[in-house]
Amino acid sequence: MMQLFKSLPIAWVVLLLWFQGHSTAEAVCPEHWTTDNDSCYILMEQKKTWKKAQSTCRKFGGNLATIANPSENHVLDKLLPETEAWIGLRDHVNEGTFKWIKTSTTPLWTNWAPGEPNNARRNEYCVVIMPGGNWNDEPCSYIRKFICEKPA
Ligand SMILES: [Ca+2]
Ligand SMILES: [Ca+2]
């Protein structure tokens, strides 16, 4: 490296050092994952039940996605095809009390579709994000595409 510096004008050395520092500060997600702030997201195309979807996300070092605000919701909505996808939210312990799988906390912000969550046939404990970004509770046994999230 020192040999390289001696042969370069000082301006180029400064630029090179700045670029190295700058580029390592950027969060980097693996190929095919979408970066947003400190998270990586991916839409998994192979449809699974909520539980199998979650265990697949775990294998990739993450969880089914947590959505904190409209900006994150928009990032996930952009990943969606024309079908809905599981996210990491469910109310299987106490009906109507939804909690994120990652943090076991109730959402501070939600984006339910009109009339949802309706717990249809008293059998809807898992949540999807639908094209357009609204959420709906559905039976956990349905097979759906799903969105994983992991730290960048
Ligand atoms: Ca429910
Ligand atoms: Ca529903």
Question: Is pTM, for the whole model, over 0.85?
Answer: no
Instruction: For residue 140, report the distance from its CA to the centre of ligand 2, in Å.
Output: 11
Residue 38, pLDDT > 70, answer: yes
Instruction: For residue 121, report the distance from its CA to the centre of ligand 1, in Å.
Output: 10
Strands (E), the chain: 34-36, 39-48, 63-64, 85-90, 99-100, 126-129, 135-138, 144-151
Residue 2, pLDDT > 60, answer: no
What pLDDT digit, counting tens, does each position of 69-124 carry? Answer: 999 999 999 999 889 999 999 999 999 999 999 999 999 999 999 999 999 999 99
The C-alpha atoms of residue 152 and residue 10 are separated, in whole angstroms, by: 34
Instruction: For residue 139, report the distance from its CA to the centre of ligand 1, in Å.
Output: 8
Instruction: For residue 140, report the distance from its CA to the centre of ligand 1, in Å.
Output: 10
Instruction: For residue 127, report the distance from its CA to the centre of ligand 2, in Å.
Output: 8
**Which residue's entry shows tokens 């076991």?**
104
Averaged pLDDT of the chain:
90
Residues, CB-to-ion distance under 5 Å, ligand 1: 91, 119, 124-125
Task: Collect contacts of 116-119 with beta carbons under 8 A, ≥24 apart.
Answer: 117/91, 119/91, 119/95
Instruction: For residue 85, report the distance from its CA to the centre of ligand 1, in Å.
Output: 17
Ligand number nearest CA of 112 is: 2
More confident residue, 52 or 3: 52
Report which of 124, 91, 82, 92 is spatially closest to residue 110, judged by C-alpha positions: 91
Percent of the chain residues past pLDDT 90, beyond the cut:
80
Residue 67, pLDDT > 80, answer: yes
Q: Give me the pLDDT at residue 58, please.
A: 98
Whether 97 contacts 137, CB under 8 Å: no
